[in-house]
């Protein structure tokens, strides 16, 4: 199979009039200056490095705020999320995830890292198949045509030194052996799928006993990526200092063997020494600007992290935003608003967008457990976000500014299609399985509303 593009973006810049030949989803040749009929401009498919799929069912539904409650913050939002988590059955979870993943592909994502902690039945008891929910997420990814790194989450506590809350009963692995068993089952489920891989995840320092955080990071398979929420909330940092005598990132870096497999999610509230240490130790940071803004988390000190050589990727977390371009814009604009400068991603004469895509792509590979040296590479799957060539802003743009125009001026209609593993999954702006996916999603949400009213 052949694909012809007006240009493809590689890490070193644009390559024009390119023909890519694919066999069984893998790139076998990349030819420049071809004479084929081009479809558009191909960017590397984006990796969404932090997702809670079930939360898509409540996107935009936690925006009625009571200023007198004292709970108009992340912790109040969490109560709403817990009610949703306690209401869903496996069929609903699969339908919601399938809809979400289809929408992610429509927006240009070709890979999702699913931070999955909805493990048990509604009463907290294990399913007959303890990996039921994880397998449903793999099935959703297969139906949607997106690659998935499934990250079963070790969740043990209700806070620093506290027993789990009743609302968390579906999340809990009582011991690290219980979690290791869940991880092993997840790895085996992923091995049965052509689009799935597994990783290790700890919910947070407040969510797992400290000694088990260390064991999970140091003793479980080190060939898998490792993800952890950390320093997202000011209260979390204060509670950590009281319980462990130090700040979360500082504690983690002191106790755990750190390498490029490590992904700190959010890391919103970090001090100068933590920023420098994260970068020097090779830890990646996963940033989710639309969710972090929606929850009022704060703004990660990205400029300082980048100056220290730090690497970062993006995710959509609770899915109030689904566009990779929106995540990159919000990430940049947050820095501009705090530094009063406009050079977040670029040095002298460099493209802000190309540098942003480069950071997100290569750190995204690490987060997903992939190895790769280039966006489009012979011997690797063809995964691309294809921008249409006919928009007036595209037609009037030179190649040196094309990536900047796409990242900073586009809307989702600019995404002509998305190619995953060598085949069109979204074409002419429409997901190939959209009708059934949307019907199943609507049915799942209808049942959810009916159950909440009964």
Q: Which two tokens stand for residue 397?
A: 């743009």
What is the C-alpha radius of gyration for the chain, rounded to an integer number of angstroms?
21
Active site residue 65: no
Name the β-bridge partners of 312: 285
Q: What's the gap between Cα 404 and its chain centre?
A: 22
Q: Is 116 helix (H, G, I), strand (E, B) or coil?
A: strand
Active site residue 317: yes
Q: Which two tokens stand for residue 217?
A: 């990071």
Cα–Cα separations (whole angstroms), residue 178 to 5, 19, 49, 187, 212: 49, 49, 25, 15, 12
18, 366 contact by CB (below 8 A)? no
Q: Which of 317, 332, 391, 431 is catalytic?
A: 317
Burial class (CB in 10 A: 0-12, 13-18, 19+), 333: middle
Going by C-alpha positions, the residue among 170, 156, 154, 84 that lies closest to residue 121 is 170
Q: Which of 266, 319, 391, 431 is catalytic?
A: 266
Measure the CA–CA gap between 106 and 433, rounded to whole angstroms: 11
Burial class (CB in 10 A: 0-12, 13-18, 19+), 452: exposed
Please list the active-site residues.
Answer: 266, 317
């Amino acid at each position: 199979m052949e694909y012809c593009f007006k240009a493809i973006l590689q890490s070193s810049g644009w390559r024009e009039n390119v023909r890519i030949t694919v066999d069984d989803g893998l790139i076998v040749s990349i030819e420049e200056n071809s004479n084929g009929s081009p479809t558009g401009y191909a960017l590397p498919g984006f990796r969404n490095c932090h997702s809670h799929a079930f939360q898509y069912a409540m996107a935009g539904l936690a925006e009625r705020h009571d200023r007198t409650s004292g709970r108009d913050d992340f912790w109040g939002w969490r109560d709403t999320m817990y009610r949703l988590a306690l209401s869903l059955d496996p069929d609903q979870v699969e339908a919601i995830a399938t809809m979400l993943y289809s929408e992610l592909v429509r927006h240009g994502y070709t890979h999702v890292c699913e931070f999955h902690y909805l493990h048990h039945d509604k009463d907290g008891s294990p399913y007959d198949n303890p990996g039921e929910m994880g397998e449903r997420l793999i099935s959703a990814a297969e139906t949607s045509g997106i690659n998935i790194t499934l990250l079963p989450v070790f969740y043990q506590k209700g806070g620093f030194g506290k027993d789990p809350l009743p609302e968390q009963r579906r999340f809990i692995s009582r011991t690290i052996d219980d979690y290791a068993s869940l991880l092993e089952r997840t790895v085996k489920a992923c091995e049965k799928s052509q689009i799935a891989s597994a990783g290790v995840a700890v919910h947070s320092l407040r969510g797992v006993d400290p000694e088990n955080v260390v064991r999970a990071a140091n003793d479980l398979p080190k060939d898998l990526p490792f993800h952890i929420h950390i320093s997202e909330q000011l209260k979390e940092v204060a509670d950590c200092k009281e319980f462990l005598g130090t700040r979360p990132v500082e504690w983690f870096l002191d106790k755990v063997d750190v390498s490029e497999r490590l992904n700190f999610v959010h890391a919103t509230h970090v001090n100068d020494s933590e920023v420098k240490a994260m970068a020097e130790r090779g830890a990646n940071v996963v940033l989710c600007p639309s969710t972090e803004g929606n929850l009022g988390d704060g703004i990660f000190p990205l400029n300082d992290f980048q100056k220290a050589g730090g690497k970062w990727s993006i995710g959509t977390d609770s899915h109030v935003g689904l566009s990779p371009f929106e995540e990159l814009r919000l990430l940049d604009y947050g820095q501009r608003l705090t530094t009063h400068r406009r050079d977040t991603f670029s040095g002298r004469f460099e493209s802000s967008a190309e540098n942003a895509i480069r950071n997100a792509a290569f750190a995204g590979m690490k987060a997903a457990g992939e190895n790769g040296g280039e966006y489009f590479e012979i011997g690797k799957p063809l995964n691309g976000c294809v921008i249409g060539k006919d928009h007036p802003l595209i037609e009037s743009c030179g190649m040196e500014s094309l990536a900047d125009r796409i990242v900073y001026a586009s809307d989702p209609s600019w995404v002509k299609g998305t190619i995953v593993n060598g085949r069109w999954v979204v074409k002419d702006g429409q997901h190939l399985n959209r009708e059934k996916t949307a019907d199943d999603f609507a049915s799942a949400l209808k049942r959810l509303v009916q159950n909440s009213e009964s």
